[in-house]
Structure formats: structure tokens, C-alpha cells
A and B are shown apart, each in its own frame.
Chain A
């Protein structure tokens, strides 16, 4: 027998299906945002990346000018990629926290679409990322950063940055789902993040590195993404876009597998 009288019907309920996915993702994204869009959190999302931006700019602008590089134009994509990475890492922390508090177990024991938990997380990360990206662009504009391609270029820039964020979040999300230690997973992910950002064209052109490091910098996925963002902003040579797209696709495939596995195992 299945389902007793007076109870919600227990006949094979499809928890999959696009309607459920969208509805439940939206509900969970709303919950995530409600949790992480307090005044203090928003201030952190806007102020911290701007501190990085103005800090780097103040220190290195003159030096880069001596080499004929307009740092105000060069720096914003780097700050965006750095901040997008940090936002993705915070997704891992939040997932690990949900696992630790049992929230995730509760959701998994309910007829909630399995994709919705991840999609809800991604959607809220996207919103948080968008706020930071726009803040950086606005500040950069004041200091002289321009999109050569106008509004279309700006839109493409934001879209690409968001794509990077979401792909990274799938990967960090997998790490978060596999962990019950929010602090530990955050610290562990921050460790490779900094060297990856430094050993790329984010903060200095390839020519600025010693020759033995140049191959590392040239083939770094971070370089691919930062170069692509610069290309979109300049609107000149769009070749880097292909390299970035290839990297993102590969990472997405690897990360989604890891995330699916981790979700299934997360008690």
C-alpha cells in the first residue's frame, strides 16, 4: 500500500522536472540571499574589492606608466577575476556550513529536486558576484577604465565574468559539499587561489616574469580568462576568448561530475 487517507498523496511523485527545478531553485536562492545579503555582507561585497582595486592602483600606476601601460585600464579585469574567485570560495564555505548544520540532509530527505540545491546556490552566488563586478566596473570607470566597445562590450564583460564565477562555484561547491568543516574548506581553497592569480597575466604581462616562469603564466587558465576579459573590454583581438571558452568548458565538465558525486554522498 502507498499513502494513507488524509495524507499528501505518496504516489510516485516526480521531484525532477523543470517546473520543480525552477521553483525550488528560486526558493533556495532566495533563502541563500536572505542569509547573505545583510547590510554588513553587502558592504563587504562592495568595499573589499574596491579596496584591492584602489590599493593596487595607487601602488603600481606610476610604475606601469613608465612601461607604457595604462594600469587603470589593465587592472580591473584582474580585480574582477580575483573577486569572482573569492566569491566562489565563499560558496564552498556556505555549502559546508549547510552540511554541518544538517540543513543539506533535511533538503536531501525532502522531495526537493537535486539540481535545485546546486542551482539555488549558483544563482545566489551569481547575484552576489554581480554586485561586486558592477561595483568594480563603476569605480574603475571613475579612474579612467573604458569599454572600447561601449555598452555591448560592458555587457559581454559582465556576462563572461559571471560565467567564470559560476563555473568556479560548481568546483568549489563540490569541495564544500564534500566537507563538514566550513573554515577548513575555505582556508584550503584560498591556498592555491593566490599563487594561481599571481602566476598569471592578471597583475603583470607575460614579459614581466622571468623566462622560466613564462610558460606557466602563458598556459594558466587564469591568464586565459583575464586576457579574454581584457579582449572584450578592448574589443580588438578576440582570439583569447576561444582559449577561455575551452578552459571553462573543460572545468565545467570536471567540476559538475565532482559536484554530482559530492551531493549524492553528502549526509
Chain B
């Protein structure tokens, strides 16, 4: 086995007294897609910034493509392509001018940069808007241009910070397709996301971080396995009724978790299902649907981070939960 393409060991970074990244370690094998998953403020972007030489780590070792970020940052920069969390393209230039600028900064000739720009604009569905100013672009178009800019010159490592946040389903699928294509061409991809479905679909491996620490690592299957082979899901749209049901079920199964309009009971077999129905009927709680299903990454995520872990961090449980839940796209 060769050394991992990205190696992070004991990475620490604080802002003032506050540790944004508190001892994170993981490796990304060459040619694979790694998903860095975590709620708001978990430290994902800070990890990415250390990895792309934008921030200097306080402690730990980070290497990319064999280059150490501290000893050989130029080597790292020459090996990576980055699209940050917010689309970093020039608003006052056209889409094409942006791509050509970045290509030429990477030592392409004017002609080669122009040809590559045309190719990428077409690939990202921007052919018609290529000669319009970026300030006229929609958020999704800007995001796609941002990724295109990162791909002007193929690099062995692609780093994407929340690449599909704010994209409509069509653009999101297009983005996933591009990531898969790049992976099959041998690119190593590290992407952060809050969308569990996205990590599930794209990633070969997942690192879950919360509050600057890694709380779980594994393949999507392994993470899902942590909540059991299957689960029982009780859908109750009415919030009051759901609270009542939660009380009843917690009494019997202390590890149930509350998801988005539903309650998930680990261990999905017919007996559990029957018992759930019996208990809820006895308590007089109306349910919309009770079913056995395979656990989703959402379930794993809630189970791993705990009920409130998503929200407590930035004090807006509704917003965070809503975002993570919406990402599942069920």
C-alpha cells in the first residue's frame, strides 16, 4: 500500500482560547473520496484551511501528496485544487475571463487556457453564460464556475468545502457526477458536507467531526451499521403527538433518536415493530406511519452526535437540524 494521499495527524488549531480543531487525525488513500462530515462550527473549514496552506496548524502534521504543509507549502499548493466554502470568483469579470485568469496564473498559455475554459463552461452547463459578468450569475451558477476554476489544471488532489450547499437538485446531481468522474480518473477528493445523503452517495470513507474532534470514522456502511442493521421509523407529523410518543418509547428503548418528523428506534425487527405499535396504541398516540427500514446516515449522525449535539453548538437547534435533515432529501 502506498502512503495516503492526504495524511492528517493530531491537527490542532485555536482561534484565541477556543480550539476550532482539537486533535484531528485521518488519512485519505490515493484515488478515493473522503467525506468530512459535521455540524456547523465543527471545524471542517479550519481543517481544510490548514490542509491547503491557508492557515498554519498550531500542532500536528499534515501532508498532501507527500508534501508537508509546513516544510513544503509550495509543493502542497502545486498538488491541490480548492473550491472553498464560498464561491471565490471575480464578480466583475465574465465567467470565461475568470477561468482564463486562473488557468494562466497556473502557467497555461493564453490559447490553452481559452480552450480549456470553453470545455469546462460546456461541461458545467455555463456555455451560454460564459461571456456574461459573474455578478449576473445565480448562486448555483457561481458555485459551478468556482468548481470549473479549480479544475482548469488537473491536480492529484481536489478539496471541496461544501460543494453542493445552495444548489438545486439538478446541479447537485451534476456536481456528484463530476466528482465521480474525477475519482475514476484517479483524483483523490476530500469534501466537506452537511448533507448525509451526499457523503453516503459519494464517499468511500467518512470522518465525522464535532466540536473539533473526530467522533467516528468508517465507510458509509460501517457508520450505518453502528445503529443496527435496520431500524424502526415512526413517522408522526404532529409535533405534540410526536413528543408524547417519544416519552412512551424512551421508557422502553433509551437509545431512540428523534429525526425530522419521525422517531427512530434501533433494532428493526417485526417484534420491535409490533411492540411499538402496541405501546403507542395503549398510550393513545396517533401515528402516521410505522415502518422497518435500513438505517440512513442521518440516523447514524444523530446517534453519534447525540440529540442536541447539532444545535447546542451555535445555539440554533432548529436551523442546524433543519439543514441536516433537509440534506437527506427523503
Residue B66 lies at the interface, judged by CB distance under 8 Å to chain A: yes
Among the listed A1, A8, A31, which residue makes an inter-chain contact with B3, where contact means beta carbons less than 8 Å apart?
A1
Binary interface encoding of chain B residues 35-77 relative to chain A, with 1 for a CB under 8 A from any of its CBs, else 0 = 0000000000000010011110000000001110000101101
Q: Contacts of A28 on B, CB cut-off 8 Å?
A: 105
Q: Is the CB of B66 within 8 A of A2?
A: yes
Residue A195 lies at the interface, judged by CB distance under 8 Å to chain B: no
Interface residues of A in 1-42 (CB under 8 A from B): 1-8, 10-16, 23-24, 27-28, 31, 34-35
Q: Which of A51-59, A97-105, A159-167 contacts B (4 or more CB under 8 A)?
A: A97-105
Q: Is the CB of A7 within 8 A of B78?
A: no
Among the listed A35, A101, A267, which residue makes an inter-chain contact with B54, where contact means beta carbons less than 8 Å apart?
A267
Q: Is the CB of B156 within 8 A of A10?
A: yes
Q: Which of A109-117, A128-136, A210-218, A253-261 contacts B (4 or more CB under 8 A)?
A: A109-117
Residue B319 lies at the interface, judged by CB distance under 8 Å to chain A: no
**Shortest CB distance B11–A (Å):** 16
Q: Is the CB of B75 within 8 A of A108?
A: no
**Shortest CB distance A10–B (Å):** 4
Contacts known (A7-B156, A10-B78, A111-B78); A105 close to B105, Cβ less than 8 A = no
A-B contact count (CB 8 A): 113
Q: Contacts of A267 on B, CB cut-off 8 Å?
A: 49, 54-55
Residue B221 lies at the interface, judged by CB distance under 8 Å to chain A: no
Q: Contacts of B85 on A, CB cut-off 8 Å?
A: 102
**Shortest CB distance A5–B (Å):** 8
Residue B174 lies at the interface, judged by CB distance under 8 Å to chain A: no
Q: Contacts of A105 on B, CB cut-off 8 Å?
A: 54, 84, 88
Q: Contacts of B34 on A, CB cut-off 8 Å?
A: none
Residue A141 lies at the interface, judged by CB distance under 8 Å to chain B: no
Q: Is the CB of A13 within 8 A of B74?
A: yes
Q: Is the CB of A6 within 8 A of B75?
A: no
Binary interface encoding of chain B residues 100-119 relative to chain A, with 1 for a CB under 8 A from any of its CBs, else 0 = 01101111000000000000
**Shortest CB distance B157–A (Å):** 9
Residue A190 lies at the interface, judged by CB distance under 8 Å to chain B: no
Q: Contacts of B97 on A, CB cut-off 8 Å?
A: 34
Residue B155 lies at the interface, judged by CB distance under 8 Å to chain A: yes
Q: Is the interface of A mostly helix, strand, loop or mixed?
A: loop
Q: Is the CB of B155 within 8 A of A31?
A: no
Interface residues of B in 4-49 (CB under 8 A from A): 30-31, 49
**Shortest CB distance A6–B (Å):** 7
Q: Is the CB of B156 within 8 A of A15?
A: no
**Shortest CB distance A237–B (Å):** 46
**Shortest CB distance A179–B (Å):** 17
Q: Is the CB of B93 within 8 A of A12?
A: no
Contacts known (A10-B156, A108-B53); A27 close to B74, Cβ less than 8 A = no
Closest partner residue, chain B, to A8 (CB atom): B153
Q: Is the CB of B105 within 8 A of A110?
A: yes
Q: Is the CB of B78 within 8 A of A6?
A: no
**Shortest CB distance B146–A (Å):** 9
Among the listed A8, A16, A106, A110, which residue makes an inter-chain contact with B154, where contact means beta carbons less than 8 Å apart?
A8
Contacts known (A8-B154, A103-B88); A112 close to B54, Cβ less than 8 A = no
**Shortest CB distance A267–B (Å):** 5
Residue B185 lies at the interface, judged by CB distance under 8 Å to chain A: yes
Complexed CA–CA distance, A24 and B187 (Å): 27
Complexed CA–CA distance, A110 and B91 (Å): 19
**Shortest CB distance B136–A (Å):** 15
Residue B322 lies at the interface, judged by CB distance under 8 Å to chain A: no
Residue B89 lies at the interface, judged by CB distance under 8 Å to chain A: yes
Closest partner residue, chain B, to A19 (CB atom): B107
Q: Is the CB of A14 within 8 A of B74?
A: yes
Residue B79 lies at the interface, judged by CB distance under 8 Å to chain A: yes
Q: Is the CB of A108 within 8 A of B54?
A: yes
Complexed CA–CA distance, A11 and B330 (Å): 45
Q: Is the CB of B3 within 8 A of A103?
A: no
Among the listed B49, B67, B149, B154, which residue makes an inter-chain contact with A6, where contact means beta carbons less than 8 Å apart?
B154
**Shortest CB distance A160–B (Å):** 32
Contacts known (A4-B186, A10-B156, A267-B49); A111 close to B91, Cβ less than 8 A = no
Residue B138 lies at the interface, judged by CB distance under 8 Å to chain A: no
Q: List 30 A-B contacts (CB under 8 A).
A: A2-B66, A2-B67, A7-B187, A8-B153, A8-B155, A10-B79, A10-B155, A11-B75, A12-B78, A13-B74, A13-B77, A13-B78, A14-B74, A16-B74, A24-B105, A34-B92, A101-B88, A101-B89, A101-B90, A101-B91, A105-B54, A105-B88, A106-B84, A106-B102, A107-B105, A109-B54, A111-B74, A111-B77, A111-B78, A112-B105
B residues neighboring A (CB under 8 Å):
2-3, 30-31, 49, 52-55, 65-67, 72, 74-75, 77-80, 82, 84-93, 97, 101-102, 104-107, 149, 153-156, 185-187
A residues neighboring B (CB under 8 Å):
1-8, 10-16, 23-24, 27-28, 31, 34-35, 101-103, 105-112, 267
Contacts A12-B78, A31-B101 known; 20 new A-B pairs at CB < 8 A: A2-B75, A3-B65, A3-B156, A4-B30, A4-B186, A6-B185, A6-B186, A7-B186, A7-B187, A11-B75, A12-B74, A12-B75, A15-B74, A35-B93, A106-B82, A106-B88, A108-B54, A109-B54, A109-B80, A110-B102
